[in-house]
Structure 1
Amino acid sequence: MQALRSAYRARSALSLPAATRAFSSSPAHNVAKLILTGRLAAEPELTTTSSGQEVVRYSVGTSHGPRENRQTSWFRVTSFTPEGPQRDYLLSLPKGTLVYVEADASIRAYEDAEGRRQHSLGVIQRSLEVLKRPYVPDGQHEQGPDAA
Structure 2
Amino acid sequence: MLNRTILIGRLTKDPELRHTSNGTATTSFTIAVDRPFQTNGKKEADFIPVVTWRQTAEACANYLSKGKLVAVEGRIQIRNYENNEGRRVYVTEVVADNVRFLEFGNREDSGSGTGERGGYGGRRDDDDGLPIDISDDDLPF
TM-score normalised by the shorter chain: which range applies?
A: 0.5 to 0.7
Matches for 1:1-148 after TM superposition, within 5 Å: 30-64=1-35, 65-66=37-38, 68-82=41-55, 87-88=58-59, 91-133=62-104, 136=111
Kept in 2: contact 1:108–1:119 (CA 8 A): yes
2:48 alignment partner, SS class:
strand
- Higher percent of residues as helix: 1
- Higher percent of residues as strand: 2
1:132 alignment partner, SS class:
coil
Greater radius of gyration (CA): 1
2:67 alignment partner, SS class:
coil
Task: Go from structure 1 to structure 2 and tell me whether the alpha carbon gap of 1:31 and 1:122 turns closer, same or farther (over 3 Å shift).
Answer: farther
Could you tell me the TM-score, scaled by structure 2's length? 0.60
2:93 alignment partner, SS class:
strand
Kept in 2: contact 1:110–1:117 (CA 8 A): yes
State the alpha-carbon separation in 1 of the partners of residues 101 and 26 from structure 2: 19
* 1:37-61 residue CA offsets vs partner (Å, 9 max, x unmatched): 1001122232123554221222211
Could you tell me the TM-score, scaled by structure 1's length? 0.58
Spell out structure 1 runs of 4+ moving beyond 4 A: none
Kept in 2: contact 1:39–1:60 (CA 8 A): yes
Q: Structure 2 unaligned runs (5+)? A: 113-141
Kept in 1: contact 2:11–2:31 (CA 8 A): yes
